[in-house]
Amino acid sequence: MKKLSVILTLILIVFVGYFVYNEYFKKVETNPYENTLRDYSNQVLATIKNNNYLLETTKIDTDWLNSKLESLVSCQEIYYSNEDKILLHKCSINDIGSYYFYDKIYEQNTDEYNNLYETIKNQKIEIEKGLLLKDLATIDLNLNITEVDSCVSEGICEAGTLLLIQVNDVETYQFYVLNDDGEKVKLIMADNLVNNIMYAPSDNSDGPTEALTYLKKETDDWTNLEERNVKISDENKDKAYDDVYEKLRATLPSYNDVYKFKDKKYLYDNLSNESGYWLSTATNKSFYAWSVVKNDIKTNDVSIEILGIRPIIEVYKY
């Protein structure tokens, strides 16, 4: 009886060992790059966070990502989910196709994967709204601003509406509304925040480096405004510089932001004949960028030091 028990135990050990061995090597054979995909997924997440990448949708710009991250993995599409996870779609490693999400490789065209793909692809990015416009708009009797326009909490604020914004506990600045989409409002400051600075020290190939440095420094204490990832993009078809990503409380106006208001007096408020402010948009000439000057929008040499910066902010209403 004891001998039979030992034999049965040995048979069980052999069977279990064979099963474990077989399943392990089957897994390795089926998914030889699982660790590579997991590492790449983690690297993608770290790259978008470390570079302040602006997630306008869940889809990540793979051209931008490839310029920041070298890897054996090549993916047609990459998505970010609000759970801080990465979906790798139609990826290839040494001609082996893969679909990967959060420690799992999926088979192509299964209901499980297709449902996951559509869910993450169509997710709306969660945004920290911060203080609402109705909480930021205020009055100042010394400036003869005795009431706050009701549009801050109901209806639509018309372009050109002047609002006094409490940017931190002690500072207020006047802003003009540029756009109100019903949920959030884009405003431009009614005066230059800084004067006599360059767009960039040499040419426009790296974007408005000097203007952004001053913008970040001068608005860093605007603590009533949410600090968000911002994309500064050259609007030309043939871009003079690659997209720049920064974590900011305000940003620079672009050519498209202001051009539609070129006939409006408020765009040129508090400008003398020898002053103006930089726009983020460059030109196809290496040493020039767009700017707003007295009663006009024109190009200027990026290294001149007679212009300033006039911040744009975006604030949510609801």
pLDDT 10s digits, 166-216: 999 999 999 999 999 999 999 999 999 999 999 999 999 999 999 999 999
Task: Name which of 95-109, 123-137, 150-164 the model is least confident about.
Answer: 95-109
Contact 278, 251 (CB under 8 A): no
The whole-angstrom separation of Cα 133 and Cα 166 is 10
Q: Are residues 38 and 146 in the same domain?
A: no
Q: Tens of pLDDT along 213-235? A: 999 999 999 999 999 999 999 99
Domain co-membership, 143 together with 86 = no
Residue at 4 is within a domain: yes
Q: Considering 62, 94, 121, which residue would you say is the last residue of a domain? A: 121
Q: Residue 206 — left, alpha, or beta (φ > 0 → left; ψ -120 to 50 → alpha)?
A: alpha
Residue 54 pLDDT: 97
* pLDDT tens digit sequence for 246-276: 999 999 999 999 999 999 999 999 998 889 9
Phi then psi for 167, rounded to 5 degrees? -80, -25
CB 290, CB 111: distance < 8 Å = no
**Does residue 3 sit in the same domain as residue 85?**
no
One domain, residues 154 and 265:
yes
Maximum CA extent, the chain: 108
- Which of 93, 121, 149 terminates a domain? The answer is 121
Per residue in 68-96, pLDDT (tens digit) is 999 989 999 999 999 999 999 999 988 88
Same domain, 112 and 142: no
Query: What are the tokens at 252?
Result: 């620079």
Beta bridge partners of 292: 277, 297
Q: Are residues 24 and 35 in the same domain?
A: no
| pTM recorded for the entire structure | 0.85
- Residue 126 maps to a domain: no
What is the arithmetic mean of pLDDT over 147-172? 97
Question: Do both 159 and 219 map to the same domain?
Answer: yes
Query: Residues 226, 113: one domain?
Result: no
Same domain flag for 292 and 182? yes
Same domain assignment for residues 15 and 41? no
pLDDT score at 31: 57
Q: Reply yes or no on whether the pLDDT at 64 is more than 50.
A: yes
Q: Which domain range does residue 15 map to?
A: 1-28
Q: Examine residue 282 and state whether it is found in any structural domain, yes or no.
A: yes
**Helix (H, G, I), strand (E, B), or coil: what is residue 33?**
coil
- Residues 288 and 141: their CA atoms lie apart, in Å, by 42
